[in-house]
Chains A and B, each alone.
Chain A
Amino acid sequence: MSQLVSAQNIKDTLLKIITSLNKKYDYQFNVTTSNGVSVNCRFKEVENIEYHNDTEMTVTVFNDYKKGNASTNDLSVESIEKTITKAENISKNTQPDEYQGLPEANFTLSESKNLGIFYPQDLNTNDMINLVKTCEEEAFNFDKRIINSEGAGFSLAHNEHMILNTKEAFGSYKSTDYSLSCVTLAEEKKSMERDYWYSSTRDYQKLETAKQIGIKAAERTIARLGAKTISTRSCPVIFSPEMSSSIIGSFLAAISGPAIYKKSSFLLEKLNQKIFPDFIKIKEEPHITDGSGTKPYDCDGVLTIEKSIIKNGTLNTYLLDTYSSRKLDMKCTGNGVITNIVIESDLPYPSDLIETLEDGILITEMMGSGANILTGDYSRGAFGYLIKNGKIIHPVTEITVASNLLKMFENIKSIGNDFDLRNNIRTGSILIDDITIGGAT
């Protein structure tokens, strides 16, 4: 039932179609396919099995600086031709913009290039079911207070990407994704809490074991029991690696080409200025083996390159795609995508940031959409733990976290070595001084 499209097949089809297209126009074709399965179990029973196979082709037409875009999930020749016509028709109604067009680059990058992100693995459904059952069972066995579960799940996907344009650029690559997760609920004194843990890798062999994941999910859920409200205060806050990567995500959004040329960023006019403390380094490393963000080229087909974004606390570059770079009259940085981002510190990494904190809060969850990229204002709901003298005292609920991102970056005091390799933003816990915590008591 899957339209198994290999890059070579579709390349040949497209090259044939291209010969009959309008030579005055430029065309770009992006194709992605993803095939896989996900299995979920709850209370030791299979809850659902979903097989997925997704295909998408996007055609971009540049017609004398006018652009049209159309996509389809049907890769028959007839459908591709229809989609091309549609994109052409759209381009006849849009307006010219001198910065639009294919990138200058032309290259050929075949799937044979080994990026270290494609690890096909033969697994049958029973193996997967056993894996998730074990995972959930370990969570239940861990503590009597684990009384319920939203189940454990496993998923795998084989992905293929291809890009081809009429300036003779061609690229394709394959990747795999595996993930195993468990969501548990704990109850004590009539109050319920839920938490989860997951592992996600390119290589099945590198997944954390079902036992590790089940236990970690249970531990995290139990730790949340007995949460108390606290008073409003201003204090140092440790953001867990997951939360830290969300904060760094806001930083990356603010230095992206579109945010800059739309003047919609609090980091406008901050190029070559110091925005982080001296000891912070932020790099983009597009080709990390096993990296969850590893990509050889961006969405326009520009090769991705390694770069230093923050060095000695100073902003070295914006993240520019082809269009933004032309619009801003700067060099394209291949950032029609963001690949792997690595945050490093010149200071020694404490093995446990919590031990270094006398009086503060550890934030492990944030909720809501309160990161304003235009102004840097930051205000979100949160869940975390009260810390005194380097120890967790109790979980805290119904709190808000507020500051301004620029101030938060300046106030970074240290980074832990608990790097989260599941995320394409690789950071450890970050300790930030002087955050306003709103509390319910």
Chain B
Amino acid sequence: MNYIQDFILTNYNLTDAKLDKILSTAYSSKIDFADLYFEYTNIESWTIEDSIVKSGTSSIDGGVGIRSVIGDKSGLAYSNTFNYSDLIEAANMARSISKSGKNKKVKLGKPITFKKLYEPSSPIELTTDKDKVNFLKDIDQYIRQKEPMIEQVIVSLAASHSSVFILNTDGINAFDERPLVRFNVMVVLKKGTRRERGSAGGGGRFAYKEIIDTNFGYKFADEALRQATVNLEALDSKAGTMMVVLGSGWPGILLHEAIGHGLEGDFNRKKTSAFSGLIGKKVASNQCTIVDDGTISRRRGSLSIDDEGCETQNTMLIEKGILRGYMQDKLNAKLMKTKSTGNGRRESYAYLPMPRMTNTFMLPGQYQNDEIIESVKEGIYAVSFSGGQVDITNGQFVFTASEAYRIKNGKISSPIKGVTLIGNGPEVLKKVSMVGNDLKLDDGVGTCGKDGQNVPVGVGQPTLKVDEITVGGTKI
């Protein structure tokens, strides 16, 4: 169900003639491009803590973002009501980016069709609140019965459903409905005086039943317990430069931080990225092929169409070590004389779209995971991370391990804690000397922040070995 199409347009009597008028108000003779972004989003979450489902939250956010663009200039105004007069006022404010100019006629396009990568229904409505609550109780009980050292268990379920309607002066007229669910479990174990945390979770653009009616929840509960148990034994890590093996899946956050942001179109148009002007140049070892693929069915980072109404794509970023392309939205693509790659995204109607990643991952190579570990005489095996950050200008990136081990003479030895990796984006991938054949995408937990806007993303990679990277730790 598209709430905008089925309710908003009718209830607020927003006929084609009125939509036409709003769009042409935002589009004067001085304006190159204008768009309307209608959104109606429903969000909920349920959490169990101390074995009590203490609270549930539900929120609705709806409105219309109106944008007028001239060259590299954008005007944005939005309304959090859907009244015609409010939308006309917002359109007038958006177009104030240009000093003057008469209204320009627009011709509304017919609704476009595109491949749907997920079911349109709202996960919030497909499952009863009672079932959601009972599921949380089951998982909580399962963990507490399984683990005597348990100190704290927090399990949560969250979902959102967005209906969007995008209308622009290029003739795009598109409706999309976007479900998203997320499950998370966090445990604290206590052994003696030491407390350590483990957490795990997953989700995607599907219904709750995929979590509730499967072993999904138990799998992640086991994983969180395992991680906490490992961390209880973790030793201080040594600081300095060393060889690092990154596990498959979520450690792909390396690609997101080290190169992904640096390949977003806006930074490259403005030449503020360490990767500016490097198309066709070698930026990684031959074994590295990296794509941004928004077209994978039901994944957290996927979108059938981006927030500018362009179908998402599988974009080649780096092919066998050579930089092939950037991720683009409409504005930056136009200024760089290329086409949008379907990466124009915005947190909501209240923000301007910009180039953002979808699912960014490295394609598999030829080595087995154990072959890679055996090749390391002394180093670190990092299998899970809590987050990362990058300075796109100097290329410096950081990411923090939540589970890591020492490797000694080709064997995984003791777990270590407080491991932060720091490197330089354009340099680090040149030091990738082995790429595994075990490509895995993450479980659907990533959120990326840029300029204060958060959007769901995916990452992935096979096991890979970096010959040298700086590792933070307390020991010298």
Contact = CB atoms under 8 A, between A and B. Distances in A.
Interface stretch (B104-112, B390-398, B459-467): B390-398
Nearest to A79: B60
Given A192-B274, A367-B398, A381-B398, A69 B55 contact: yes
B78 A51 contact: yes
B148 to A, nearest CB: 16
B418 interface: yes
Contact of B389 (A54, A263, A368, A438): A368
Interface residues of B, number: 82
A199 interface: no
Contacts of B132: 93
Contacts of A368: 387-389, 398-400, 420, 422
Interface in B231-286: 239-241, 270-272, 274
B390 to A, nearest CB: 8
Interface string B176-190: 000000000000101
A109 interface: no
A400 interface: yes
Contact of B400 (A48, A191, A224, A379): A379
Contact of B54 (A67, A86, A185): A67
B196 A3 contact: no
A73 interface: yes
Interface in A187-231: 191-194, 224, 227, 229
Interface string B413-453: 00001111011100000000000000000000000000000
Nearest to A234: B476
Nearest to B473: A402
Contact of A93 (B57, B129, B474): B129
Contacts of B63: 73
B325 interface: no
Interface string B38-73: 000000000001101111111111110000000011
A440 interface: yes
B368 interface: no
A250 interface: no
A159 to B, nearest CB: 15
A239 B356 CA distance: 33
A58 B57 CA distance: 10
Interface stretch (A306-314, A339-347, A369-377, A419-427): A369-377
Contacts of B50: 97
B146 interface: no
Contacts of B410: none
A148 interface: yes
A95 B75 contact: no
B108 to A, nearest CB: 22
A74 B62 contact: yes
Contacts of A381: 389, 396-398, 420, 422, 472
Contacts of A439: 239-241, 470
B93 A398 contact: no
A69 B393 contact: no
Interface stretch (B13-21, B81-89, B287-295, B337-345): B81-89
Given A73-B63, A97-B54, A372-B418, A398 B423 contact: yes
Contacts of B154: 262
26 contacts: A1-B85, A1-B93, A47-B73, A49-B97, A51-B78, A53-B79, A70-B58, A71-B59, A73-B62, A93-B132, A94-B53, A94-B55, A95-B54, A97-B50, A264-B152, A369-B386, A374-B196, A377-B418, A378-B418, A381-B397, A397-B394, A400-B422, A404-B474, A439-B239, A439-B240, A440-B241
**Which 8 pairs of residues, A with B, have the shortest CB-CB distance?**
A400-B472, A381-B398, A438-B239, A194-B393, A368-B398, A369-B387, A1-B86, A379-B418
